Structure 1
Amino acid sequence: MHGETSLSSVKAVRSAFFDKLAAKGTDAKAIGDELFDLAELLDGNRQLERSLTDPARSADDKVKLITTILDGHVDPLTLEVAQAVASRRWSRPEHIADAVEDVAIDALLANADARGVTAQVSFQLADLHSALLNLPVVRQRLSDPHAEPEQRVKFLDTLLKGQPLDQITLDLAEHATRNLRNRRYLSTINWVIDMITEHRGRSMVTVTSAVPLKDEQIVRIKNAYRRKLNRNVYVNCVVDPRVLGGMRIQVGSEVTDNTVAAQLQNLKRAVA
């Protein structure tokens, strides 16, 4: 999401509902499911998105519109979230669906918090990300915009059958393929992991290497980035033989690539 107006609005909405979702405990999952459905509704109805984000319409008018559509069909808290996003201003129409999706994820994490499994969900998604990294054909099927959403979900469920995954992990993994929202599957999973680490008051440091890192290497990286960022960090280790050697470290949008593959690519460009 880009644009100061939208960034300010989504931050305000998420902050306003953090405690309310936490108070729902395990029941927050139902709110998340309904908000995911609402995000999908908005994505599929551009006219509705434009109506709810039209700067020429009053906030009250937009709130009345979304209330007419949802009242009596969703949980009162889901309706309250929808009314809140409708009352805000957005830089672009599609950002309202982005905000609804963000709060949906917050709701699922509130469920995970209530059961004490938030860290477990993060680790399971990181393992899924690593497992799919070297399976391009699988990733393509999960990101195929021409396939029906339920076909992609069924394919994912077949892949994950028998895995001891938490329900929230499965919900988030399925959402990433059910509603692509013009994204690739792995990038969505990585974004969700970042949201979870932020939710837990940490930063995600993703380290890609050709071979598994030793425990002492992980500790050094964790300590270095904890000092640099002045907050706790979680190191997500990804093994990718294609990097040949060295490490690629990513924190948010900041990337430090000291892999052999990157150096060879730089050499090729210099020679060219």
Structure 2
Amino acid sequence: MRGEASRLADRESRDSFALQLSKVGEDTWRIGNELFTITALLDGNAALEHALTEPSRSTEDKMALLSGILGERVHPFTMTILEDLVKRPWSRSADIADAVEDFGVDGMMYYADHTNSTAQVSIELAELHSALIDLPVVRARLQDTRANSDARVKLLHDILDGSGFNKVTLRLAEHAACNLRKRRYLSTIQWLIGKFSRHMGQSLITVTTATHLSDEQIAKLVDVYSAKLGRPVHVNAVVDASVIGGMRIQVGEEVTDNTVIAQLRHLQDTVKVGV
């Protein structure tokens, strides 16, 4: 958990650049990717994190260090973001990597805005999350720290091949697999869903059923959950015949599973306990 100084540094820096980043347009794709790469660089080098957050070290010295590592290969706006981050106080050295990752996600969100695909990406992330809930073996392999990042990313590509997902969705899913950052894969996808929902000013409700919901059913769910949460909601309706019947509703990390398959599993577990 980040300390107060780190949370404040992250929030203030991102707020100060939000408008500028939103206007960069096509280059937000490049900036987001660069920031994800730098996140991985920092995660693998505690000495570098310490050097970039050392209060007694000047901003100029810190930027000279970064320039020596990154050269002129990165976008000028990426360097502007990094310069702002290294001049701020941090509770822990490792927290600066979290802030760089936050900026990377922001870059991807603004690229999605630029390409009018923000809602699509949010829905696709929810579809991925919903699909992985019932695939514990796949989840375990995606977050296996014993496997190298290339193996995890290849597995992800094999899973999503032919999915038709937006390239932002694919990149975010790939980032989550490539750099685990001491998180469970499903938790990272849920975190990304939350960030996109807040970015759009609404909450995403994922509803999984065996058959397609009617427009009337979706409208009723929107009314119920908008009133319950006190803000607009978007219903992501996922059809999964394997649930047989009933409905699974996910709001953030809270899942209410009233599907037939869930009830059968509960009955099976109950029988095992009673034997």
TM, length-normalised to structure 2? 0.81
Question: Relative to structure 1, is the Cα distance of residues 4 and 233 closer, same or farther in structure 2, using a 3 angstrom cutoff?
Answer: farther
Question: Relative to structure 1, is the Cα distance of residues 28 and 249 closer, same or farther in structure 2, using a 3 angstrom cutoff?
Answer: closer
Alignment of 1:23-38 (within 5 A): 23-38=23-38
- Please provide the CA RMSD for this pair: 3.1
Q: What's the CA shift for 1:156?
A: 0.8
Aligned to 1:234: 234
Q: What's the CA shift for 1:3?
A: 2.3
- The CA deviation string for residues 227-250 of structure 1, in whole angstroms up to 9 with x for no partner, is 3544322345677989x9786654
The DSSP-based 3-state class of the residue aligned with 2:5 is helix
Residue type at the aligned position of 1:102: D
Aligned to 1:45: 45
- Quick check: 1:62–1:86 contact (8 Å CA) kept in 2? yes
Aligned to 1:22: 22
Identify the range of structure 1 (19-28 vs 172-181) with the bigger mean alpha-carbon deviation: 19-28
Aligned to 2:135: 135
Q: Which runs of 5+ in 1 are unaligned?
A: none
Aligned to 1:148: 148
Question: May I ask how many residue pairs the two structures share in their alignment?
Answer: 262
Aligned residues: percent identity? 44
Aligned to 2:189: 189
Residue type at the aligned position of 1:141: R
The DSSP-based 3-state class of the residue aligned with 2:23 is helix
Identify the range of structure 1 (180-189 vs 231-240) with the bigger mean alpha-carbon deviation: 231-240
Aligned to 1:100: 100
Aligned to 1:173: 173
- Quick check: 1:210–1:240 contact (8 Å CA) kept in 2? yes
CA distance in 2: counterparts of 1:108 and 1:36, whole angstroms: 10
Question: Relative to structure 1, is the Cα distance of residues 101 and 228 closer, same or farther in structure 2, using a 3 angstrom cutoff?
Answer: same
Aligned to 1:13: 13
Residue type at the aligned position of 1:72: E
- The CA deviation string for residues 108-167 of structure 1, in whole angstroms up to 9 with x for no partner, is 111111110111111111111111111111111111111110111111111111121111
Question: Relative to structure 1, is the Cα distance of residues 256 and 104 closer, same or farther in structure 2, using a 3 angstrom cutoff?
Answer: closer
Identify the range of structure 1 (198-207 vs 174-183) with the bigger mean alpha-carbon deviation: 198-207
Alignment of 1:113-132 (within 5 A): 113-132=113-132
Identify the range of structure 1 (202-211 vs 45-54) with the bigger mean alpha-carbon deviation: 202-211
Residue type at the aligned position of 1:113: D
